[in-house]
Structure 1
C-alpha cells in the first residue's frame, strides 16, 4: 500500500501541502487572497459531453454481460472497460440548489441518507457504466465510508473534504485509520485540476459550494496513472478477490407484476417540502421514477427523471454525534441487523437486512429467511431513521 511504502510522516507532509494548494484553488483562491473570478476560469475540460453521448456507441450492441454490482445486462464493450477498473463511490449532494445533479442515472447503486440538517446526500457507486459529468461533488460522511468498504479491496472514494470534527463522525479520520488516504481515497483536496473542476455555468446562479464536478473517466484515469490502482492494486491483488455479488433476476412476468404504484416518505419532517421523496411505478418499463421536493428529479446529463429497478428502504438507528459541530453531525448504525422494505416489480416486500461488519456485504432476506434477488438494473437504497413512515 502507498501509505506503508512512503511512511506516515511523508504522507502527512504531502497531504497537508496538497490540501493547502487544492483548497486555495477550489475555495476561490481565498487562501492566497485571489479573487474568485480568476478561479472561475477553470471550467470543465474540453471533451466532457453528456453521459448519453458517451454511451451511444454501445447502445446497439447485444447485452450479454452481467454487471456484478446490480445484475444489469450490458455489452461486451462495456465489460472490457469495467474489467480494467474498480468500483468508484462518489459523494453527490442533494441540496435543493444542487439539482438537477449530473450522473446519478449512470450509477449502478445509490445510497441516500441525511448528511446534516435534514439535507440528504448520495453515495453513488459507479463501476459498469460511465458518466462524463458527475456532481456537484460534496464532502464525506463516516457512514458512507463504512458502506463503501463492502465494495471489495480499496474501492475509490471521490469527495470534497469531509467531516473532521474529533469524535465518532470523523470521516476523514476514519479514512486515515483504514489506510485509504492518498491511495484509493480521491479527496479533491489532494487530486488536482483537471480531474476535478468548478463549473459555474452548468447550474447558473449557484453559490461556489455547489459547483465542483468530475467524471468517472477522469477519476479512474487518475487512480490508474497516479495511484497504480486499476482492477488490481500495486501488489497485483484484484479488487474483487473477496467480493460477494448479490443475487439477480430478470423483470417479473405479467402475472408477477403488482399494483403498488406510488411510494412516498420523508427523512426529517421539518424539511419534508424540499426533501420528500416519491417513487412512481411505471409498468411499461418495470421501473420507478423519482420525484424530489414535489418535482420530477432529473439528471442534468440526460434531461430525464431518475429511475431505478429496485427501491430498498433501510431502517437504521439514527443518533446525534454530539461532537460539538454546529451543523449537527449524525450517525447511522448500519452493521448488525435491521428491517426494511423492498419495492420491485410493482410489489412491496418486508425484508430484513444483516451486515456483520463494515467489510462484509450487506445481505437481505424475506420473511422466510431466504436471500432476496434484485431485478437487474439500478438499485436505490433509502436509509431512513427507525420509526419513519413509508406510504405505499
Structure 2
C-alpha cells in the first residue's frame, strides 16, 4: 500500500513540475511579445508624427541619445549666437568684430540706405538740435550704406560698448583728439581710405551723398590692419533671455514719442501687436530704408537719460555728454516699459542696464534701438498716444 502511495505522490510531483515549467516558459514568451509590440507602437508613433514631412520611416535604436534628436530639431550647425541680437548667425559673421557707422539723419538725407541691416542703432544729439545715428553691424551684406557723416567724440563710447570699429566721413576737432587719446580704432573716409571705402551717389547733393558698402568696408579694414575678431575677454553689453519676456510693469508703451529738441525730426515708435515689434517714424512719416523700401522696426527700445550740453564758446555749437557715469532710463518691449538704471565704469567697459532690484536686465532676442536722451527733457517723453 505504501509503495502504491509513494508512486502516486512521485507522479503528482513530476506533473506539478512539468506544469510549472510550462507556465514560466509561457510567461517569458508573453513578456517578449509585449516588448516587441511596444517597440512597434513607438516606431509607429514616431512615423506618424513625421509622416507629413517624410514618408520614409527611421528605426529608433534603444541607445539613441536625446541630444541627437535635439540637434536635428534646432538645425544650427555651423552657426553661433550673435551677441548683438541673441539670434543665430553664421560662425564667420558671429566671430567678426562689429562695425559702427555714423549715419546722417537730416531730412535732406532721407531715405537712408542699408541701416535696416544694422543689429543695433544708437541715436543722440549733435549740434543744432539734430540727431545722428550710430548703426552697428555684424551680420550684413549691404551694397549701399549711408549717407555717412562725420564723427563726434562721445559716440566713441557707443563703439567701445561693443568693441566696434568706428566708420565716419570727417570728424570734429574733439573727435580727432579723442581718437588718439583713447586709442579708438576708426576708419575715416576723409583720408587715404576715401577711394577704398566710400563712393558718391550722383543723385544726392553733398554732404548727403557719401556711401559705403560691405565689400568696401572689408577692403578698407584689410588695409588698416585692425584686429578682425572679437576680444576673447570682452563682456557683451546685452544679455538675452531664452524665454520671451513680457514685462510685469503697469506702464503701457505703445506709442513712444521722443522729442529731442525743437528740430522738425520729432521721432516716435508705434507698437505692432501682430509681430510684437516697434515701428519707427520721423519727419511726420515712416522711417524707411531706401534699399528695401521697408520701415525700420525693433524688438527692444532702451532710453538712456544723460547730461547733454553745448560746449561753451564752441563756434559750431558742438555738444558734449557724460557717459562714463551712471543714470536712469527705460527698457521697452512687447508693449510695456520698465524703469531701469545704467552704469558705465570706463570708456573701455560696456554700459550695463539694471532693473529696480539692481539685477542686470535681459532683453528679448532681436534688434535694439538705443535712445540716449537729454536728461533735462525726460518729462517730454510719452509712452501712449
Shorter-chain TM-score tier: 0.7 to 0.9
1:90–1:124 CA contact under 8 A, matched in 2: yes
Map 1:127-142 → 2, pairs under 5 A: 127-142=138-153
For residue 291 of structure 2, what is the aligned residue in structure 1?
301
Report how far residue 173 of structure 1 moved. 1.1
Q: TM-score, normalised by structure 1?
A: 0.73
1:257–1:346 CA contact under 8 A, matched in 2: no
Aligned counterpart for 1:200 among listed residues 199, 202, 207: 202
Change over 3 Å in CA distance of 1:240–1:222 after alignment to 2: farther
CA distance in 2, matches of 1:187, 1:109: 21
Q: SS at the partner of 2:269?
A: strand
For residue 81 of structure 1, what is the aligned residue in structure 2?
93
For residue 381 of structure 2, what is the aligned residue in structure 1?
390
Q: SS at the partner of 2:309?
A: strand
CA distance in 2, matches of 1:95, 1:110: 16
For residue 172 of structure 1, what is the aligned residue in structure 2?
176
Q: TM-score, normalised by structure 2?
A: 0.74
Report how far residue 194 of structure 1 moved. 4.1
Report how far residue 130 of structure 1 moved. 3.1
Matched, 1:311 2:313: no
CA distance in 2, matches of 1:223, 1:107: 18
For residue 343 of structure 2, what is the aligned residue in structure 1?
354
1:309–1:378 CA contact under 8 A, matched in 2: yes
CA distance in 2, matches of 1:110, 1:377: 12
Q: Structure 1 stretches of 5 or more lacking a match?
A: 1-60, 165-169, 233-237
CA distance in 1, matches of 2:258, 2:131: 13
For residue 34 of structure 1, what is the aligned residue in structure 2?
none
Report how far residue 341 of structure 1 moved. 1.1
Report how far residue 328 of structure 1 moved. 0.3
Report how far residue 62 of structure 1 moved. 5.8
Report how far residue 207 of structure 1 moved. 2.3
For residue 318 of structure 2, what is the aligned residue in structure 1?
329
For residue 83 of structure 2, what is the aligned residue in structure 1?
68
Matched, 1:267 2:279: no
For residue 359 of structure 2, what is the aligned residue in structure 1?
370
For residue 159 of structure 1, what is the aligned residue in structure 2?
168
Q: SS at the partner of 2:155?
A: helix
Report how far residue 254 of structure 1 moved. 8.0
The higher relative CO (CA closer than 8 Å, separation ≥ 6) is in 1
Change over 3 Å in CA distance of 1:315–1:86 after alignment to 2: same
Q: Structure 2 stretches of 5 or more lacking a match?
A: 1-74
Aligned counterpart for 1:247 among listed residues 220, 228, 239: 239
Report how far residue 255 of structure 1 moved. 9.6
Report how far residue 277 of structure 1 moved. 1.3
Change over 3 Å in CA distance of 1:334–1:231 after alignment to 2: same
Q: SS at the partner of 2:317?
A: coil
Change over 3 Å in CA distance of 1:368–1:299 after alignment to 2: same
Q: Identify the structure with the greater helix proportion.
A: 2
Instruction: Tell me the matched-pair count.
Output: 304
For residue 56 of structure 1, what is the aligned residue in structure 2?
none
Change over 3 Å in CA distance of 1:81–1:73 after alignment to 2: closer
1:88–1:158 CA contact under 8 A, matched in 2: yes
CA distance in 1, matches of 2:312, 2:182: 23
CA distance in 1, matches of 2:245, 2:155: 35
Report how far residue 324 of structure 1 moved. 2.5
Report how far residue 390 of structure 1 moved. 1.2
